Amino acid sequence: MCLTVSLAWKTSLCLAMNKPIIAITARVTQQRYSVNQDYVDALKNAGAVCLLVLPQSKEELSTLLSSVSGICIPGGMDVDPKLYHQSNLGSDPIESEIDQLDLDVIAIAKEKGIPLFGICRGLQIINVAMGGTLIQDLTSVDIDHTLSSKNKIRNRGHNVSINRENFLYELFGHSIEVNTYHHQAIDRLADGLTVSAVSTDGVIEAIESKNLFAVQWHPERMVQNDLFEYFVNMCRKNG
């Protein structure tokens, strides 16, 4: 009861300040729930207030998320292949509690029409939640998709080609250089999702649908924060 009242008060205050509340799903690091500060900084700089969402029952999550204007599903560990009916052929580490948190939050976002922004693992778990599958280890492609991670390069990685007639094209034009920190990617695209961008070796780098978009790269580590500004504005309209 106190939590509900507190969130309602905070929501009213944030709306009065034109600051949408964006929920970020937690990750587990050394037995502690956490979120990378880069996500928080990027959302705050774009004009949002952040709320860290911890694992809990779906009913509790539904109540909590009724007070937010948008949800960010960040990067993190590999998605359990059992969730898309495959044996484990290279997915590690896995955290089942976080898988369930993301799946529940995605389902609630779809049910309530809450805008959703997925980043790296966020793109992958959105695809899985909607019925798609993943490539568990990118070993037979032309680009090293772990390049930025290996070389500690926050901004640079490789170019992606952006399809016309989507918001990414309006923001960046026909291509953009992105960083790359992943060894997994979308295999079979879920029904209802559209590909927005691909790398030169055919890896899906961005997807979208009604009230959601997701990218495989890490925009929170890049100089350009256009995606966060776009998302926060999207949430303002929703709120």
Q: Is 235 a catalytic residue?
A: no
Q: At what angle do helices 2-16 and 58-65 cross, to 10 degrees?
A: 30
Could you give the angle at the alpha carbon of 128 between the alpha carbons of 61 and 91, nearest 5°?
A: 105
Which residues have a Cβ under 8 Å from the Cβ of 129 and sit 6 or more positions away?
102, 103, 106, 107, 190
d(CA 162, CA 22): 26
Q: Which 3 state secondary structure label does DSSP give 28? A: strand
| CA 144, 147, 150, 151 torsion-angle sign | positive
- Which position among 158, 208, 218, 235 bears the catalytic label? 218
- Which position among 14, 145, 208, 220 bears the catalytic label? 220
Q: Is 120 a catalytic residue?
A: yes
Which residues have a Cβ under 8 Å from the Cβ of 107 and sit 6 or more positions away?
58, 129
- Which position among 14, 72, 120, 235 bears the catalytic label? 120
Q: Is 111 a catalytic residue?
A: no
- DSSP state, residue 175: E
Q: Which 3 state secondary structure label does DSSP give 109? A: helix
Q: Which residues are catalytic?
A: 120, 218, 220
